[in-house]
Amino acid sequence: MKKLLILQMVLLAFVFTQGYAEAEVEEVKVLTLEDAVRSAAENNVQVKTQALTLNTLEKSNTFSWNSVSPTANVKGSLAEDFDAGTTSLSVTGTLNVALSANLYTQIRAAKLSYERGQMTYEQTCRLIEKEVRTAFYHLLYEQENLALQKKSLDTKLTQYRNNQEKFRNGQISELDVMTSRVSYEQQKPTVEQAETTFTNDIAAFKQVIGIDQRIPVKLEGSLDEVLSITGISFQSLPERNVPAPDIQDAQKAVEIARNGILSQRFSAYAPSITASYSYGKTNRSNVDDIATTNSLSVGVTIPLDGYLPWSSSAVNIAAKKNELEAAKLTLENTKTSTAVQTENYLRKINLAIAQAASLKANVELAETTYEMTKTAYNYGKTDFLNLLNANDAVLSANVSLKSQAYSLISTILELEYLLGIPFGTIGK
């Protein structure tokens, strides 16, 4: 009986603990845009992976001189001569050093690789931030679209019930009742599909920003603030003292190609120096003195095949020169491409702003038309089909406006990413 009581208490404690834990997990987490950005910066897998790569490049850069680090070894031996009845014991230490002109280019290459790795890491962080911001605004669009669809569904349900009452009072025909019911039933799958899509996209968003899937989230924000943005010109863009990220990366590629040519030339023409120092002691059992070895050797190697135009060294130098020319062409093309893309984005942004203004007017007109049609329908001066069309027009106008707002902010984010401008600065 006592054991049974203890077991019941343990089970109650477990259930209480589990319930408390689930209650904590199920607490709704309110997310602003900046909250999502910070969470992604701390928890995104792609950012963490790139940070590990950067850490490896940093260590390679820090110890890039290690090729001149001397190598040392110690050798010990024990020999037994059974015929002479002697035993010899020897210990020898050797120190080797090699020095070549390529040391400079090796250090330079490690430094350039690390600098490019830093740029790649920063761009990865910016790419993830852009994706998070774009996804956040898309979820806001889906959330507001879902709210509009639900509002339309509620309106149609209310109208269907009102029509039932009017039919019982002999004010409308049964056809109007059936039409209102069909309209309501047709709207339900649209709402259900929107809810499913929103739920799936929220799950994907949680994965990107590193939030537990079990935690419900609520997005705090609105697309309406985007609609307050006015026209944008190239002159109104924030000033930036450094080139766009793609141009910086192309410039770094040119530096790396130049260093590659220098490295290949050093390999083909520059001499290398090697030095070796050896010191040892040997003791024989039948000899009182300990023999000592102490030697130093220095060597110089001068390559000559680089002077032959058909040699592999000469061919490699020519190949490196071609790589440099290709990197320069890529740099010029990147500059042109960046300028063209910037102008394209500016035109798309200003077109979206103009279209948003028209869509705002459409929403106001549709809402006014609906209210007038509703009044006319209540007085029996128009049929239900006109009222239904007016309600659908309001929904369509609002959805189009929200969609345009999302398109506008998405294009602005693409332009900010292209130019390396801090997100959220254009249009402020």
pLDDT digits 0-9 by tens, 96-121? 887 787 888 888 999 999 999 999 99
Specify burial of residue 201 (Cβ count, 10 A radius: 0-12, 13-18, 19+): middle
| Segment holding 368, helix H or strand E | helix 312-378
Neighbouring C-beta atoms of residue 332, cutoff 10 Å: 10
**Phi and psi of 74, rounded to 5°?**
-125, 135
Tens of pLDDT, residues 89-98: 888 888 888 7
Q: State the pLDDT at residue 131.
A: 95
Q: State the pLDDT at residue 81.
A: 67
Rounded Cα gap, residues 368 and 373, in angstroms: 9
**What is the amino acid identity at position 375?**
T
Tens of pLDDT, residues 12-47: 444 444 444 444 446 888 999 999 999 999 999 999
Percent of the chain with pLDDT over 70: 90
Report whether pLDDT(53) > 90: yes
Report whether pLDDT(124) > 50: yes
Rounded Cα gap, residues 83 and 71, in angstroms: 38
3-state secondary structure of 329: helix
Q: Which residues contact 259 (CB under 8 A, 6 or more apart)?
A: 105, 108, 109, 112
Q: Which of 19-23, 67-71, 373-377 has the lowest mean pLDDT?
A: 19-23
Q: State the pLDDT at residue 274.
A: 85
Residue entry with tokens 């269907």: 160
Tens of pLDDT, residues 127-154: 999 999 999 999 999 998 898 888 888 8
Q: Which residues contact 74 (CB under 8 A, 6 or more apart)?
A: 91, 92, 93, 94
Banded pLDDT at 414 (limits 50, 70, 90): very high
Q: Which of 377, 252, 270, 273 is nearest to 313 (CA)?
A: 270
Average of per-residue pLDDT across 225-248: 81
Rounded Cα gap, residues 128 and 141, in angstroms: 20
Banded pLDDT at 333 (limits 50, 70, 90): very high
Q: State the pLDDT at residue 407.
A: 94
**What is the amino acid identity at position 96?**
N
The mean pLDDT value of the chain amounts to 85
Banded pLDDT at 321 (limits 50, 70, 90): very high
Average of per-residue pLDDT across 242-248: 91
Average of per-residue pLDDT across 353-358: 92
Sign of the dihedral through C-alpha 329, 330, 331, 332: positive
Tens of pLDDT, residues 201-234: 999 999 999 999 999 999 998 888 888 887 777 7
> 183 vs 153, 186, 219, 392, CA distance in Å?
9, 5, 30, 10
Q: How many residues can be counted in the chain?
A: 428
Token pair of 182, please?
């069909």
Residue 283 or 11, more confident: 283
> 104 vs 20, 99, 327, CA distance in Å?
63, 10, 22
